[in-house]
Amino acid sequence: MKKTMFVGETRSGKSSLIKVLSGESYTPRRAMAVEFIGPFINTPGEFLENSWFYNALITSSADCEVLAIVQDSTRRTSLFPPLFVSMFNRKVIGLVSKVDDPNSDPVLAERFLKQAGAKEIIRTSSLTGEGIEDILEVIS
């Protein structure tokens, strides 16, 4: 499995996705520092929320083969700046999280991810398992 780094806002679903992908061997909690869980790298939401930490994201990505940018589909805004992924020399996938939520707007979330530069986008749900097989196919 390819080393994959997850980037997204606080409470966007990064840890929950890692839990499902890692086969329940990880207990999700709010990341306060970069966490290494098997082939997955979980970054704190603050690394995206504060541009002063972009250098930490770039440095942390040195060990990964795939960058997964996660957009919560229940949010009406995004902190990913236009062409955000252009600073990474990695394969990038966009993950739309929480698509099972009744307040979800996956079309808006996909638009945010496309503006950030993601070409491949997968709709996901940690609760229903939607999109998990697609993610595993990309990172295998």
Is the per-residue pLDDT at 13 higher than 90? yes
* pLDDT, greater one: 38 or 124: 124
Question: How many domains does the chain divide into?
Answer: 1
Q: Would 101 be classed as within a structural domain?
A: no
Domain annotation covers residue 39: no
Quick one: what percent of the chain has pLDDT higher than 70?
97
Task: Scan for tokens 């999700």, then name that residue.
Answer: 28
Q: Name the percent of the chain lying above pLDDT 90.
A: 88
CA proximity to 126, closest of 3, 43, 1, 23: 23
| Residue 73 counted as domain residue | yes
Flag whether 19 is in a domain. yes
How confident is the model at residue 24, as a pLDDT? 66
Mean pLDDT on 6-17? 95
Q: Which domain holds residue 116?
A: 6-31+45-96+108-133
Rounded to whole angstroms, how far apart are CA atoms 37 and 19?
A: 9
| Interval 28-44: pLDDT, tens | 677 788 999 899 999 99
Q: Please state whether 21 falls in left (phi above 0), alpha (psi between -120 and 50) or beta.
A: alpha
Q: Round the average pLDDT of the chain to a whole number and report it.
A: 94
Look at residue 113 and tell me if it is in a domain: yes
What pLDDT is recorded for position 139? 96
**DSSP, residue by residue, 67-122:** EEEEEETT-S---PPTTGGGG--SEEEEEEE-TTSTT--HHHHHHHHHHHT-SEEE
Predicted pLDDT at 23: 80
User: Hey, what are 107's tokens?
Assistant: 């079309």
Cβ(14)–Cβ(22) under 8 Å? no
Q: Residue 11: its pLDDT value, please?
A: 94
Residue 103 lies in a domain: no
Answer whether residue 102 is part of any domain: no
CATH of residue 27's domain is 3.40.50.300
Task: Give Rg (Cα) of the chain.
Answer: 13
> pLDDT by residue (tens digit) across 30-89?
778 899 989 999 999 999 999 999 999 999 999 899 999 999 999 999 999 999 999 999
Question: Is 138 domain-assigned?
Answer: no
